[in-house]
């Protein structure tokens, strides 16, 4: 078994070479120097990876999110979140969590969500007396919810790599996502009460006020429901759901909210192309590097090594969680997901672990890595926008991270939380 390409990959990552370039470069060196396979295979793998119908869902959902953000959707969701939880202790922080939950069906990207929340609510939180570090920590940790709420980019990528149903994964993420909401809001409540962070509203919103805000935001809230029902009913595939989401978003923005303008097209296209290209390039690099690993039988040997440690599924998931948490600290979540899924899927299948449940655990685990140093892209995004040292925001995030780790442990130990809803709706 030749391992030097893997060590080369780690060395390039340590030198801050982009993940996609590191994987492609390592694979290229292996095929160039190994001599057993033609070097042309690298280009072929890169091109063939992009020829995937299921992966079309990714740019479609990114485009739909960009359109809806430009159409005034976020402002309406913010108003609704304020009506729901603005009267809670630590009101602005609670609104942050609620807004992240509602926006999960729009942005599909935790990093995009972190940037948006930091710009929208971060400065206001600081003005109202919240510490900059705590504000950045709340923004970063709240963004993790997006990884569970459909249509999540992480779940789409995992479904493609693990060859499982995107629709079942979307539905499976709903309950774990709501558990994260409860865990974060509870933790924020106790922190805010200790620090005297006041409610954003002096009183609870009346039913009439909530209903008015709900009616104004109903078109945005309908999109995730439309996607789940459409996939569940067999009306369209997940890829087709992405295209329908784009048409739906454009219709809402132009004809219902009437805020989508021609001037927004340039920014929408730029955001969509940039986000999609970054993810797709990483997928192409991982596919190329994965071919080297398959040729050297590395996944099979790692699977045998893990099973040799324990043949108990619960213990195996515990070890894998520890491994993912460590890797998530040094490798960006999407890259780690793409790199590790082909390796771990044979292991969990051999021990009878449901791949849908494992997908939820894996995506949640690696997204939490977006808050932990030294990589922590979610924390870096929030901290840079709010101009606070990453060390300060990371320290403030420790209680929230504790709540996230507890949620991860519960979701891992209780597969029913991920599986009962898919089994109910998609038997």
Q: What is the pLDDT of residues 75-86, one digit of tens each?
A: 787 788 888 888
Mean local confidence (pLDDT), 218-223: 79
Give 23's Cβ-side CA count (13 Å radius). Answer: 24
Q: What is the DSSP letter of 35?
A: -
Mean local confidence (pLDDT), 186-204: 86
427 vs 420: CA distance, rounded Å: 10
Mean local confidence (pLDDT), 31-37: 72
Comparison of pLDDT for 367 and 308, the residue scoring more = 367
Asked if residue 387 has pLDDT above 60, the reply is yes
What is residue 405's predicted lDDT score, i.e. its pLDDT?
A: 94
Per-residue confidence at 424, pLDDT binned at 50, 70, 90? confident
Mean local confidence (pLDDT), 205-212: 86
Whether residue 360 is contained in a domain is answered as no
pTM, entire model: 0.78
Is 179 in contact with 410 (CB distance < 8 Å)? yes
Asked if residue 232 has pLDDT above 70, the reply is no
What is residue 303's predicted lDDT score, i.e. its pLDDT?
A: 67
CB burial readout 110-136, b (16+ within 10 A) else e: bbbbbbbbbebbbeebbeeebbbbbbb
Give first-to-last CA distance, the chain, whole Å.
42
Q: At what angle do helices 73-85 and 57-70 cross, to 10 degrees?
A: 80
Backbone angles phi and psi of 371, in degrees to 5: -105, -20
Whether residue 338 is contained in a domain is answered as no
Whether residue 372 is contained in a domain is answered as no
Task: Compute the C-alpha angle 357/360/364, nearest 5°.
Answer: 145
Comparison of pLDDT for 52 and 344, the residue scoring more = 344
387 vs 316: CA distance, rounded Å: 41
Asked if residue 322 has pLDDT above 80, the reply is yes
The pair of structure tokens assigned to 43 is 């280009």
pLDDT above 90: percentage of residues in the chain: 13
Mean local confidence (pLDDT), 229-237: 74
| pLDDT tens track for 269-300 | 887 888 777 777 777 777 777 777 777 777 66
CB neighbour list of residue 400: distance below 8 Å, 6 or more residues apart: 137, 138, 141, 184, 187, 188, 371
CB burial readout 60-87, b (16+ within 10 A) else e: bbbbbbbbbbbbbbbebbbbbbbbbbbb
Mean local confidence (pLDDT), 370-396: 80
Per-residue confidence at 107, pLDDT binned at 50, 70, 90? low
Residue ranges of alpha helices (H) inside 238-264 are 238-251
Which domain does 258 fall in, by range?
A: 52-281+377-425
What is residue 59's predicted lDDT score, i.e. its pLDDT?
A: 81
Asked if residue 57 has pLDDT above 60, the reply is yes
Whether residue 28 is contained in a domain is answered as no
Structurally, the chain folds into a number of domains equal to 1
What is residue 10's predicted lDDT score, i.e. its pLDDT?
A: 77
Is 365 in contact with 322 (CB distance < 8 Å)? no
Comparison of pLDDT for 255 and 356, the residue scoring more = 356
Q: What is the DSSP letter of 198?
A: P
What is residue 425's predicted lDDT score, i.e. its pLDDT?
A: 75
Whether residue 167 is contained in a domain is answered as yes
372 vs 378: CA distance, rounded Å: 9
How confident is the prediction for the chain on average, in pLDDT?
A: 82
What is residue 402's predicted lDDT score, i.e. its pLDDT?
A: 94
């Amino acid at each position: 078994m030749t391992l030097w390409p893997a060590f080369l990959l780690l060395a390039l990552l340590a030198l801050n070479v982009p993940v996609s370039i590191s994987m492609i470069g390592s694979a290229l060196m292996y095929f160039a120097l190994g001599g057993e396979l033609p070097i042309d295979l690298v280009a072929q793998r890169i091109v063939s990876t992009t020829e995937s119908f299921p992966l079309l869902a990714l740019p479609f959902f990114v485009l739909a999110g960009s359109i809806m953000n430009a159409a005034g959707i976020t402002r309406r969701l913010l108003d609704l979140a304020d009506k729901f939880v603005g009267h809670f202790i630590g009101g602005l922080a609670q609104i942050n969590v609620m807004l992240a939950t509602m926006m999960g069906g729009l942005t599909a990207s935790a990093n995009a969500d972190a940037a948006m929340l930091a710009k929208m609510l971060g400065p206001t939180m600081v003005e109202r007396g919240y510490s900059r570090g705590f504000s950045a920590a709340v923004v970063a940790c709240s963004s993790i919810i997006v990884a569970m709420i459909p249509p999540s980019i992480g779940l789409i990528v995992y479904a493609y790599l693990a060859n499982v149903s995107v629709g079942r994964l979307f539905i499976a993420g709903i309950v774990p996502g709501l558990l994260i909401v409860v865990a974060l809001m509870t933790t924020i409540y106790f922190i805010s009460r200790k620090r005297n962070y006041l409610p954003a509203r002096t009183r609870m919103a009346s039913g009439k006020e909530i209903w008015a805000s709900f009616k104004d935001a109903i078109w945005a809230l309908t999109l995730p429901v439309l996607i789940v029902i459409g996939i569940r009913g067999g009306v369209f595939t997940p890829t087709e759901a992405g295209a329908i989401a784009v048409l739906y978003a454009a219709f809402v923005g132009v004809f219902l909210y009437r805020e989508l303008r021609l001037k927004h097209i340039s920014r929408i296209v730029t955001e969509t192309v940039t986000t999609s290209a970054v993810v797709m390039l990483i997928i192409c690099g991982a596919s190329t590097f994965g071919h080297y690993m398959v040729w050297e039988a590395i996944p099979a040997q790692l699977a045998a090594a893990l099973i040799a440690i324990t043949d108990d599924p619960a213990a195996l998931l515990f070890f894998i969680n520890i491994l993912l948490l460590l890797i998530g600290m040094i490798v960006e979540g999407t890259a780690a997901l793409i790199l590790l899924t082909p390796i771990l899927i044979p292991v969990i299948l051999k021990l009878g672990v449901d791949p849908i449940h494992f997908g939820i655990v894996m995506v949640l685990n690696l997204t939490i890595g977006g808050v932990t140093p030294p990589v922590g892209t979610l924390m870096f995004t929030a901290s840079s926008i709010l101009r606070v040292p990453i060390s300060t925001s990371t320290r403030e995030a420790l209680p929230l991270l504790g709540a996230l780790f507890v949620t991860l442990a519960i979701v891992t130990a209780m597969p029913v939380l991920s599986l009962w809803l898919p089994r109910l709706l998609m038997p």
